[in-house]
Amino acid sequence: MKRILSIQSHVVFGCAGNSAAVFPMRRLGMEVWPVNTVQFSNHTQYQAGWQGMAMPAGHIRALGEGLANIEVLGQCDAVLSGYLGSSEQGDEILAVVAAVKGANPQAIYFCDPVMGHPEKGCIVAPGVTDFLTHKALAVADMLAPNLLELETLCESHIDSLAQARAAAHRLLAKGVRLVLVKHLGRAASQPGRFEMLLCTPDGDHLIHRPLYDFPRQPVGVGDLISALMLANLLAGHEAVSAFERTNAAVDAVLLHSWQADAYELQLIAVQAAFADPEIRVRAESLG
AA identity, residue 132: L
Which residues are CB-neighbours of 108 under 8 A, at least 6 positions away?
A: 77, 78, 79, 141, 142, 177
Residue 71 is assigned to a ligand binding site: no
- Closest by CA position to 181, among listed 197, 165, 205: 197
Domain tally for the chain? 1
Residue 268 has, within 13 A of its CA and on its CB side, a CA count of: 5
Residue 167 is assigned to a ligand binding site: no
Question: For position 167, which CATH number holds?
Answer: 3.40.1190.20
| Count of beta carbons in the 10 Å neighbourhood of residue 159 | 12
Residue 44 is assigned to a ligand binding site: yes
Q: What is the pTM of this model?
A: 0.96
Residue 112 is assigned to a ligand binding site: yes
Residue 261 is assigned to a ligand binding site: no
pLDDT at 191: 87
Residue 182 is assigned to a ligand binding site: yes
pLDDT in tens, the chain (287 residues): 999 999 999 999 999 999 999 999 999 999 999 999 999 999 999 999 999 999 999 999 999 999 999 999 999 999 999 999 999 999 999 999 999 999 999 999 999 999 976 555 566 777 899 999 999 999 999 999 999 999 999 999 999 999 999 999 999 999 999 999 999 999 999 988 999 999 999 999 999 999 999 999 999 999 999 999 999 999 999 999 999 999 999 999 999 999 999 999 999 999 999 999 999 999 999 97
Q: Report the C-alpha gap between 195 and 188 in whole angstroms.
A: 6
Could you tell me the residue range of the domain that residue 74 belongs to? 3-285
Question: Which residues is 32 bridged to in the sheet?
Answer: 4
Cβ burial 37-48 (10 Å sphere, 16+ → b, else e) = bbbbebbbbbee
* 148: three-class secondary structure by DSSP: helix
Q: Report the C-alpha gap between 65 and 85 in whole angstroms.
A: 20
Question: In degrees to the nearest 10, what's the CA dihedral of 167, 151, 25, 14?
Answer: -160
Residue 185 has, within 13 A of its CA and on its CB side, a CA count of: 15
Residue 149 is assigned to a ligand binding site: yes
Residue 101 is assigned to a ligand binding site: no
